[in-house]
Every structure is written in structure tokens, then in C-alpha cells.
Chains A and B, each alone.
Chain A
Amino acid sequence: MKTKPEDSPLTEVRRSITIGRPAHELYGIWRDPQNLATLLRGLVEVTPTAMGRTHWVMRGQLGTMTAWDAALVLDIPSEAIAWSSIEDQGPQRELIIRFAPAPANQGTEAILVFRFDPPGGVIGEALSKLFSIAPDLMLVKVLHRFKAFAETGEMPTLQWNPSHRAESEQPGEQT
């Protein structure tokens, strides 16, 4: 889902998933910087910097790159975490994960929100410079990885997947 939030100049995409685990556990997964990096692997590289801050690098199609530094701006155990870019001049980015109980013991509903300042020009062409896949589908991928990790302890992967392609000699054809 893509909208323009009323209180923000940023464009917003969001997706949800239901996970058969309690919210406090799910919160704990996102709160760990190493897990954060793993969940976003291949889409955004997140590395810890000083004072609880993180450096984010996102590659678009054709090798274009966007980078920003982010701070934790919201941290409510079992409910929500948000990371927001800290420099006024650079790209404006926010990633928010929220948890709410699902009905009838189905676990927890997680909603992942990504906000970004849209680039100029033709929107589709410009988006492909920012993102390697459509931003809402990026969220779908991250949420499914998250669910798999929370429910099974591992994420589905094509690492070392045999094929008659040169890249299958490499560990990470696509993850």
C-alpha cells in the first residue's frame, strides 16, 4: 500500500503479516542490530555506528546507491520500533515496525512501514534508481523472512543453489 501521510512530506509504503509468535519475542528480533542486518540483507545494508546509530546503504537498479545515517526514534517494547534518518540535507528515510495481537490466538500482526522522500522526475524510473525491487514488494520479502526466522529459526535461501550459471559458484545468488 502506498500513500502520502497527512503529517509528513514523505511517501509511505506499508505491508502486514501475521506471525505465530508473541509480540515481545518479535520485538526482540528487530531490536538486535545483527538480526536487523540479516532481515534486510541484499536490500539494505545496515551497519552499527556510534551511539546506537546505524548507517544504511540501499542499492537501486543499475547500481545506483543511496546512503543515510539513522537513529532509533521510537522504541516501545512489544509494540513498535522506528529508525529515522538524522540529516536534514540527505535522503529522508523512516522504517517502522509495529506489533499488535492477532485475533483468536493466531499470534501477532506485524506491520512494516517505509517512508521516503520521492525523487524527482518520472516516478517509476526514479523509483527504480532508489530500489532494486518495488518498495512494497521489498517489504513483503522482509516480512516473510522475518516470519520464517521467528517461526522456524531459519530463513529460506538460495545460497549455494546449484545451477548452470556462473553465479551459482558464489554463495549468494539471491537470498
Chain B
Amino acid sequence: MRALCWNGVNDLRVETVPDPKLVNPNDVILSVRLSTTCGSDLHFIDGYIPTMREGDVIGHEFMGVVEEVGPGVKKVKRGDRVVVPSFICCGTCVYCATGKWSLCDNTNPNVEMQEPLLGGTTAGIYGYTHAFGGYAGSHADYVRVPFGDVDCFTVPDGVRDEQALFLSDAGPTGFMGADFCNIQPGQVVAVWGCGAVGLMAQKSAFLLGAERVIAIDRLPERLAMAREHVGSQTINYEEVDSVVELLKELTGGRGPDACIDAVGMEAHGTGIGAAYDRMKQAVRLESDRGTALREAIMACRKGGVLSILGVYGLMDKFPVGVLMNKGITVRTAQQHGQSYVPRLLELTAAGKLDASFLATHRMPLEEGVRGYDLFKHKKEGCLRSVFEPGRSTLAS
């Protein structure tokens, strides 16, 4: 089959690789219909996080059609059109059973690489680093999905492929981020980042009852999407003296009741803090640029919630004292997608959510390298590149 592979820092290529096979009893093989870029891919493409291997098939946000099922699979059938969350979950362990899906104990075959880095282990992810499992990803004609009955969600007939695609990751990640905020009537939620996850967090905050949502970014086309597709107020942080002061002003001096960070380790920013981070990151002394997160902590209302969705490694100058003195509750996780996908599919079928506007660029998988170039450098207004792998039948 054809697949988009990581061959080194900033070196992606579409290659011919072997087809996946059913290995474990609960495996499913999917023919991928759509697969999209994610900001977290940039961390290993740029070489900020370790344990990639040359030749890895990347991609973790996808939907497709079931081609083969293993002998243990009971519910999922050949021909089912399904969306799959990016974290692989067993459905049995105590974490899955209590809704903390991305902490699944039983799906990472490379725990010995991850345990020393995190002091614990996470679920495996498709198409990510080997510390996170090393599973082949979804930017390919076919992908092996372990625990098919747990991780495949049937897409209702009324929901299009492009709407279902983002319910694999950006949708549930954003929804979880808003869910963490425990939004009450009249509350104001501020969201740093108008990438796909940030936009979905904003939309979800409204769906969960927020009075107002304020979105912060620097790219005019993304801020326009936040206004037009979501209904957020927007702040271009490059055009204001102080995001924190403006947020206070917009909320009667209180600050936002909840702040969601949907930016992560490669935040841009202005001022001395941003310059310090950028210099240390360039020489690999620090993996993160934390402008957005620091602003969120300063802006947040006393007793409010800080919901962190951005992916971070190690950060210097993290204002723990501010969190403590302002009594801020921090909620964070990688996406517990399996908890949210059914609800998001229902909302989509009911016409209350349509994530397809995130797909600004759609192209054949063969153009995957161009797709990442557009996405990484935010060229031509690119928010997300969406790949369409070939639709050939599985070679035996």
C-alpha cells in the first residue's frame, strides 16, 4: 500500500509499504477514506520529541470503512463506515472503565520507552512516536485498528465523511477541553488557539452553555473562522498591548471563568518571555514555548478553571504560584475520545455541529508532503490538510 512516512526531521515521503494484517483477535483492518494532519505531528516532524524511527507511517486522525475483522470482534462488520479516536483503548482496564480512555493501560507495546519519560504510561496512538506505541498511522491506504469493537464508531448515514473525520481527534479533544470547564450559565470561556482543536473547543463551549467565548490567535483567517463558524469574539494578540488586560476589560474585571489552552509547545508570542523560550528551544534546552499557557494563567478568574489541551514536554518558568494564589483548578488530558464520539456524532446528525469547515485543503495522499507544507507553514489559509488515500481493495 501507499503511506506517508517520516524519514527524519522535516523529511516526509510517500512510500510503498507492506499492508497491515490482522494480528490480535480483536483487530480490525480499515480502508482509510480520509485522514488529516494534526498540530501534534509537527512536534516530531520538527524533531522536538524523541523516539521516532525512520520509515514510520504517520497520521492519527481518520475515518474509513471496515475491510476485515478478527475472530474476537463481535459488533463491527465488514463494510461499516466508522470513525476511530486517535488513542487505542482496550475498553476493559480501570481507566477505560472510568472514562479516562487515553490512560488505557493495555495498548502501548513500548511502555519501557515511555515509563521513564512520564513516570507512567498512556494508551498507544496511531502514527506517533515509539514511546507512544509505535503503531503504524492512518496516512495510508489501510490501518490496523486494535480492539475494533471498542474503538470503531459507526457513522450515521446522514453524516458525511468530512464531518465524521474530525470527530476522531479535534472534535472530542475540543469537547473534552470545554467539558473540563464545568461551564455554568452566564460564564465566559477564553480559548487560546484557533487551530482545529481550539475552534472545536470554542464550539463545544457554546454547546455546553457558555454565555460568551473569546478566541485568541494571530492569524486573521483563523480569527475570521472563529467569528463566522463558531460565533466567538476574537482577539489578535499581535494587535493588542496586553491580552490579559483586554480579557479583564471584556469580563468586567473578573477574567474569563475558564481558560482553555489549545496551543501547546510551539506557541508563538510576543515580548521577553517568548524571546526567552524561543532561544532555549532553539538550542534544545527547553522543549516548549509557553506564552499561551502563561497568559491563560494570568487572565483566568480567581477560582476558575484552566483546561490544558496543548501538547507540552518540559517548560521553564511555569507560574505555579499564580495557580495556587488564585485557586485555579487545572484540568488536562490527552483526549478521552471514546467518551465523547457518540455524542458528537449525534450532534452532527442533528445539525448542531458541523466540523467539516476545518478541512480547508483536500488532496490525494500522494500529495501528503505538500499537505504538511501547507499545514505547517499555514500557507494559503491552511487550517487542516485532508488526505484521500486510494480506494483499492486489500491485497491478500
A: residues with CB less than 8 A from B are 20, 106, 133-134, 137-138, 140-141, 144, 147-148, 151-165, 168-169, 174-175
A-facing residues in B9-26 (Cβ within 8 Å): 13, 15-21, 23-26
Given contacts A144-B108, A152-B92, A156-B124, contact A161 B135 (CB under 8 A): yes
Q: Which residues of A contact B105 (CB under 8 A)?
A: 144, 147-148, 151
**CA–CA, A108 and B222, complex, Å:** 50
The reply to whether A133 and B24 contact each other, CB–CB distance below 8 Å, is no
What is the chain A residue whose CB lies nearest that of B110? A174
Q: Mark B53-70, 1 if CB is under 8 A from A, else 0.
A: 111110000000000000
Contacts known (A106-B94, A137-B112, A153-B72); A160 close to B23, Cβ less than 8 A: yes
Between B88, B110, B112, the greatest number of chain A beta carbons within 10 A of the residue's beta carbon is seen for B112
B107, CB-defined interface residue at 8 Å: yes
The residues in B between 21 and 47 inclusive whose CB is less than 8 angstroms from any CB of A are: 21, 23-26
8 Å CB contact of B106 from A106, A141, A156, A175: A156
Contacts A152-B92, A152-B106, A156-B133 given; indicate if A162 touches B124 (C-beta within 8 A). no
Nearest Cβ distance between residue A108 and chain B, in whole angstroms? Answer: 12
Count how many chain B residues have C-beta atoms less than 8 Å from C-beta atoms of the other chain: 47
CB distance from A119 to the nearest CB of B (A): 21
Q: Report which of A133, A144, A156, A163 forms a contact with B56, defined as CB distance below 8 A.
A: A163
B134, CB-defined interface residue at 8 Å: yes
Q: A161-B20, A163-B136 are in contact. Are A156 and B108 (CB under 8 A)?
A: yes
Q: Which of A106, A160, A163 contacts B53 (CB 8 A)?
A: A163
Q: When the two chains form their complex, are residues A163 and B26 in contact, meaning their CB atoms are under 8 A apart?
A: no
List, in ascending order, chain B residues with CB within 8 A of A106's CB: 94
The reply to whether B134 and A165 form a contact with Cβ atoms under 8 Å apart is no
Indicate if the CB atoms of A164 and B55 lie closer than 8 Å.
yes
